[in-house]
Amino acid sequence: MTGGVVNIGYVELVGASLLMLVAGIVSWRMGLGQSRRIAVSTVRAFLQLLAMGLLLGYLFKYQTWWLVCLVLLGMCIAATQIATGRTNKVVRGLWADVFLSITVSSMVIAFIVVEGIIHADPWYNAMQLVPISGMILGNTLAAAAVATDRLFASMDSRANEIYMMVALGATPREAAFPSIKAAVGAGMTPLLAQLSAAGIVQIPGMMSGQILAGADPVIAAKYQIVVLLMISAATTLSVVIICFLAYKKRFSTEGYYLSPALRDDAGGAASRARPTSLAADVTFRARPPSWQAYGMPTGWREAVGRRGRSRTMGTTLPPNPRRLPCSKATRSRWHRGRIPAICC
């Protein structure tokens, strides 16, 4: 025993890893294809946690304010990488927004707890600041990833509604606000469930750790209450920040809602793309566009119908006397009103 804590030997630690055979056997028998991932994740957990233990031991012994801040910055960057890795299949280019939301929410709440409740001395005491920041970061990154996925899924399902709202003069924030509300609610749901189950269904992590270390159960309960409340505040703040920053990825700088044909999930400037389909043309027709804003030559104009009626906002324009620069089949389809066209 070390200070009231039962020291687990490395032999016992390796034996505990055999518990992961349960997940491996299930994956193998059911053909899930997750066996390799389970093994890699288990090894990574071993190495990362042991490395963290060695790093914290050095940090507690030779702590300085700049070294503690450097460790916190590394933790924030790693949390951002993990959170954005979960959302890259939905939309890219969110790294800065996720980093800002996770870092601001986690560090603000962590310093409030360390200074205002625990009264750490000095303020950068690694024994209090680093573990508390780690608990907050682990929860905020998961909530930010869930909220971001829900935000873009909701906006995609409401695409026609958003097109209509933008066409009627709504701002991007007004058009996206119902989706923002749904995403914030989805990000807060797991935390509310955890708060409801604490003390009845489960003994949360910090309380369990302190009890195993020999602390008084009432003192451990007080610490756990503080932890749950700080995680609740940080998670809510992170979800709100990321939602109000990320929804702009579905709109151009001029306020147009970008259809899938115009989105650039590789992180480029999607709004400069030329519309190539009917779905893309709908986005351009949501508001009277400025062609130069989309990087198009000045001579480009929207093709009009036979009677010179614009499909944009109902404005009568003179018919284009020149032939469409496209194939005969495409011209035939356009004249029958089946596809819009943009031509010289």
| Res. 279: pLDDT tops 80 | no
Helix or strand or coil: residue 257?
strand
Between CA 311 and CA 81 the distance in angstroms is 44
Count CB atoms within 10 A of the CB of residue 93. 16
- φ, ψ dihedrals at 251, nearest 5°: -125, 150
Q: Give the model's pLDDT for residue 211.
A: 86
| Res. 322: pLDDT tops 50 | no
Instruction: Tell me which DSSP letter residue 202 carries.
Output: B
Of residues 4 and 37, more confidently modeled: 37
- DSSP H helix total and E strand total for the chain: 12, 2
- Residue 308: half-sphere exposure toward Cβ, Cα within 13 Å: 7
- Residue 4: half-sphere exposure toward Cβ, Cα within 13 Å: 8
pLDDT tens-digit map of 107-145: 999 999 999 999 988 889 999 999 999 999 999 999 999
Whether the Cβ atoms of residue 186 and residue 146 lie closer than 8 Å to each other: yes
Q: Give the model's pLDDT for residue 63.
A: 85
Which of 50-59, 262-271, 334-343 has the lowest average pLDDT?
334-343
Between CA 319 and CA 201 the distance in angstroms is 72
Express as a percent the part of the chain with pLDDT over 90: 38
Longest dimension (CA), the chain: 92
Joined tokens for residue 292 = 């130069």
Question: Which pLDDT band, with edges at 50, 70 and 90, does 199 fall under?
Answer: confident
Mean pLDDT value of segment 229-250: 94
Average pLDDT of the chain?
78
CA distances (Å), origin 55, targets 45, 46, 71, 129: 15, 14, 9, 14
Joined tokens for residue 15 = 């034996």
Q: Which long-range contacts (CB under 8 A, 24 or more apart) does 150-156 make?
A: 150/182, 150/183, 150/186, 150/187, 151/179, 151/180, 151/182, 151/183, 151/243, 151/246, 151/247, 152/90, 152/91, 152/246, 152/249, 152/250, 153/90, 154/178, 154/179, 154/182, 154/183, 155/179, 155/247, 155/250
pLDDT tens-digit map of 141-159: 999 999 999 999 999 999 9
Helix or strand or coil: residue 251?
strand
Which of 209-213, 245-249, 303-307, 334-338 has the lowest average pLDDT?
303-307
Whether the Cβ atoms of residue 152 and residue 93 lie closer than 8 Å to each other: no
Joined tokens for residue 323 = 């032939």
Q: Could you tell me which of 247, 271, 245, 242 has the C-alpha nearest to residue 259? A: 271
| Res. 201: pLDDT tops 80 | no
Between CA 81 and CA 83 the distance in angstroms is 6
Q: Give the model's pLDDT for residue 303.
A: 38
| Res. 31: pLDDT tops 60 | yes
Between CA 37 and CA 43 the distance in angstroms is 10
Question: Which pLDDT band, with edges at 50, 70 and 90, does 205 fall under?
Answer: confident
**Prediction pTM value:** 0.70
| Res. 228: pLDDT tops 80 | yes
Contacts of 26 (CB under 8 A, 6+ apart): 32
Contacts of 86 (CB under 8 A, 6+ apart): 145, 149
Mean pLDDT value of segment 211-238: 91
Whether the Cβ atoms of residue 196 and residue 176 lie closer than 8 Å to each other: no
Express as a percent the part of the chain with pLDDT over 70: 74
